Structures are given as C-alpha cells and as structure tokens.
Amino acid sequence: MATFILVHGGFHGGWCWSHVTPHLVRAGHKAVAPDLPGHGDDQTPQSHVTFDMAVSQVAALVQQAPEPVVLVGHSMSGLVISQVAERFPDRIGMVVWIAAFLVPTGSSLQSYLEAHADLGHSDVLPNAVPSDDDTHISFRVEKAREVFYNTTPVALAEQAAKRLGSTALPYLVSPISLSKENFGRVPRTYVICLQDRALPISLHRKMIADSPCQHVFELNSDHSPFFSQPRELSECLLRVA
C-alpha cells in the first residue's frame, strides 16, 4: 500500500481531487488531499500566509505517513512538492508533477514564467486580479472554463469555477532552494496535459528536458485532468505507486 499526498494548485483546494481519490482507495492505497494555507477550508488569513508555511504543512504529512509516499502536485504546487522533496528525500518513493512547475533552484513561479516568456503565453496571470492590499490574487471566474477546464464536462467545470478562491502572493514570488544531494535523487514523474491553456505545452517539455523524469505520461486533457480525465490520471498515478 502506498500513501498518495495530493497537493492542489492555485485558487483550488483539496476538493479538486474528489474524482481521483476513489480510484486510488479502491486500488488499496491511502489518499490525502490537504488544503494549503489560505485555500479551500483553511482559515489562515492571506496576509499571514508564507511559502514555507505550505511546505511545512505538506512535509508534516510526508513525515507522518508510512512509506512509500507518492507526493503529487498540480500546477503552482509543483514548487511546494519540490521543496518538500528537498527536505525529506528518503521519505518519498515518487514525486509527480501534473501540469506543474518543475523548476530549478533559485526560481519562483513568477520569475520562471518571466524568464521563459518566449516559450508561450500563459492565460493564468493575465486573468488574476490583485487584492486591494496586494497580499493575494483571485482568478476571473468567467474565464475559468476557458483557461482551466476547457475539456472538462460543462456542469462540472461550472461547479468548480464557483469554488475557486484566492492565492497569497508568496506562492508566486518565493524562490525554491534545491540540491543534487537531496532533490536530485528523488524519483520523478511528469504528467503532460496536451490541451492545457494555463501552462504552455512547450513549457511542460522544457521543464522535463531540464529535469529529466523516470516516467512521463501524456493525457489529452485540459489543465485539470482530475476533472476531465480522473480515471486516466489515476491510472498514471497507480502505475508509479
């Protein structure tokens, strides 16, 4: 039995994995889908959220779980799971990035996008609205289906769009610190989403080329395969468990 720790991306919460966890549990595994600080049902004020707070929360789950742990991150949380893998490489059997930021040491989400703007346009930040106090951003709900859920069934996409929340700025601007000795020895898997409008496919492939993975899967899905192709995504996860 493996323990899957499923970490959501920006604007979402642990709720986004609800169509995936049943597949993992039926296969005999355990699945944990936390709300990162400031997301979902977590009540941490956005002005108090730090990147390290999110890393520490996920790291605690890794430490508590019996081995092997399959640490899974979507989109923005690619940076979170990378930093967790750096801290506890011996507690993790596999790290899986799903249309997620697999970036080198010293990079933040924002700096990486800016440095590779030539590889394609992301529709996420242009549709993100900053708060009046500049502590967090929210996504334009009317653009959610177009950007996040373009191959997801319409009714499900509309439900998900209504649940989107805000994301604190530290998730976007905090750089990660990785080493070959720790992060470099953790087994890696990447799931490319071929219909992704939030993260350019060229950027997916750039990250994989720079940080080679033992397994690479391709899904003909939007940025949110946990809604558009939950069974197929679960099969990918089970193959590397």
List pLDDT tens digits, range 162-173.
999 999 999 999
* Confidence (pLDDT) at 68: 84
Contact 33, 21 (CB under 8 A): yes
Strands 136-139 and 166-168: antiparallel
**Which pLDDT score is estimated for 235?**
98
What percent of the chain has pLDDT above 70? 100
DSSP state of 209: H
Convert the pLDDT of each residue in 164-199 to its tens digit.
999 999 999 999 999 999 999 999 999 999 999 999
pLDDT range class, residue 4, cuts 50, 70, 90: very high
Q: What is the pLDDT of residues 75-125, one digit of tens each?
A: 999 999 999 999 999 999 999 999 999 999 999 999 999 999 998 878 898
Q: Which residue carries 């990486």 as its tokens?
A: 112
Cβ-count burial of 67 within 10 angstroms (0-12 exposed, 13-18 middle, 19+ buried)?
exposed
Q: What is the pLDDT of residue 9?
A: 98
Range of the domain at 169: 3-240
Q: Can you give the pLDDT at residue 119?
A: 87
Is pLDDT of 233 > 90? yes
- 3-state helix, strand, coil split of the chain in percent (to 5) is 45, 15, 40
Residue of 73, 79, 92 whose CA lies nearest to 52: 79
- Within 13 Å of residue 133, how many CA atoms lie on the same side as its CB? 7
State yes or no: pLDDT of 58 exceeds 90: yes
Given a cut of 90, is residue 66 above it in pLDDT? no
Give the CB-side neighbour count of residue 35, counting CA atoms within 13 A.
Answer: 18
- Using CB atoms within 10 Å of the CB of residue 89, give its burial: 0 to 12 exposed, 13 to 18 middle, 19+ buried: middle
151: left (phi over 0), alpha (psi -120 to 50) or beta: alpha
Nearest residue to 190 (alpha-carbon basis) of 61, 86, 72: 72
Task: Count CB atoms within 10 A of the CB of residue 82.
Answer: 28
pLDDT of residue 54: 98
CATH code of 156's domain: 3.40.50.1820
Total domains, the chain = 1
Give the pLDDT of residue 230.
98
Residues 6+ apart with CB under 8 A from 126: none
Q: Which residues contact 118 (CB under 8 A, 6 or more apart)?
A: none
Residue 171 near residue 10, CB atoms below 8 Å: yes
How confident is the model at residue 202, as a pLDDT?
Answer: 96
